[in-house]
Amino acid sequence: MNASEIFEIESRHTSGLYTKQPIIFVRGQGASLWDIDGVEYLDCASGHGVANLGHAHPKVAAALAYQSTRLITLFETFYNDQRAALMQKMGTLVPGLDRVFFCNSGTESVEAAIKFARISTGRPGIVAAMRAFHGRTMGSLSATYNKKYREGFEPLVPGYTHVPYNNIEALEKIVNDQTAAVLLEPVQGEGGVYIADPAYIQAARRICDQHGALLIVDEVQSGFGRTGKWFAVQHSAVTPDLLCCAKSLAGGVPMGAVLIGQAVKNLVPGVHGSTFGGNPLSCAAAVAALSAIEEEDLPTQAAEKGAYLVEKIRAINAPLVREVRGLGLMVGIEMKQKVQPYLKTLQERHILALNAGLTVIRLLPPLVITYEQIDHLIATLAEVLTSDPVISPTE
């Protein structure tokens, strides 16, 4: 198909749920994407944090090719070699979280964790944070704070309360003997790249212990090396009871998981399940992805490259930049005005980036991005952030 045919077919059949950009990408490698005309783009969006390993990582591609000729799908009532290998690997990532439930996405992992907390404690209450984003299905949506995601779907699931992020006093006041769990992102990605103070996460652990509640951390976007450690919660030296992860787990193949601690009870057959969760194809991809992250020491790379990137962005003399926040290669540039025109200008210069709300540019490049590519990104940002972008009437 040529470009015009692709545009026409997708426009005619799409659900209408996505704002389409007029680019057709057909190939990726590392931190680069190429469009149908062979034009190269630097991908600093990574599919909203999916491509930690970059695009078309050879180890993941080889694992998929091999496993697809052996066994693609198998329900978890039967044992499987690839699933066992992945369980063994994931059971070592966070000491104390040695059980795992597999699913297909981030929102499914959050849904599962909420159910596990309620069945484990016999309590209804879920405490989440303001600015939180936990997913779009009904349970995770109820934990999500931004009204733009919630409007039109009420009534949502009862039992949810939101408190200010990084506010220990607010947590102490709201958690009680009806609280099943406190659900937090160690870094709020969609909410604006706000980073939890380690003392806040430590206090959440203490408060949950005092009241017999569970601590759930949502690492869907911040996990697997993105922030400079395997998981962002490890910056606080805290072990949660449930850890939700997805996105980059299987190197780009859809997969989610919940790591489960010993305080989680009553997980007996039939309480929850997933048809495709833990299928051999996704597990093989995940084993390859986690092995590559470990072998290439991508958490360390993310820490070093992220520190370099944030330092260079902060050095840009851009009066309209309010603040630069970052942990590893999870970076937010807060502007004094709406960022959509800046994102459009960056895209015109062949750099893909994201927003996080109306005024934050979010950068989530693959952890394999090179320093040469980072320098190109910084040079382009310096030009774009110090100029006045053309603002269309709709922006």
Q: Provide the strand spans (E) within the chain.
A: 25-29, 32-35, 40-43, 99-103, 125-129, 160-163, 179-184, 187-188, 194-195, 214-218, 242-245, 256-260, 321-327, 330-335, 351-352, 354-355, 360-363
Q: Which residues, 6 or more positions from 209, have their beta carbon under 8 angstroms from its beta carbon?
A: none
* Local structure of 137: helix, strand or coil: coil
- Of 141, 191, 132, residue with least CA distance to 358: 191
- Of 173, 195, 192, residue with least CA distance to 184: 195
| Bridge partners (DSSP) listed for residue 257 | 102, 245
Q: What number of CA atoms fall less than 13 Å from residue 312's CA on the CB side?
A: 16
CB atoms within 10 A of CB 324: 21
Active site residue 218: yes
User: Whole-angstrom Cα distance, residue 361 to residue 353?
Assistant: 7
Catalytic pick from 218, 231, 241, 305?
218
**Amino acid sitting at position 318:** A
User: Whole-angstrom Cα distance, residue 26 to residue 38?
Assistant: 9
Token reading at 134: 């936990």
Token reading at 183: 């659900």
> Is the bond preceding residue 365 a cis peptide, omega within 30 degrees?
no
Active site residue 133: yes
Which letter, b or e, does each residue of 244-260 get, where b requires 16 or more Cβ atoms within 10 Å of its Cβ?
A: bbbbbbbbbbbbbbbbb
- Cβ-contact 311, 381 below 8 angstroms: no
Residue 300 has phi, psi (to 5 degrees) of: -65, -40
CB atoms within 10 A of CB 163: 18
The torsion region of residue 251 among left (phi > 0), alpha (psi -120 to 50) and beta comes to left
Catalytic pick from 101, 102, 133, 224?
133
Task: Just list the catalytic residues.
Answer: 133, 218, 247
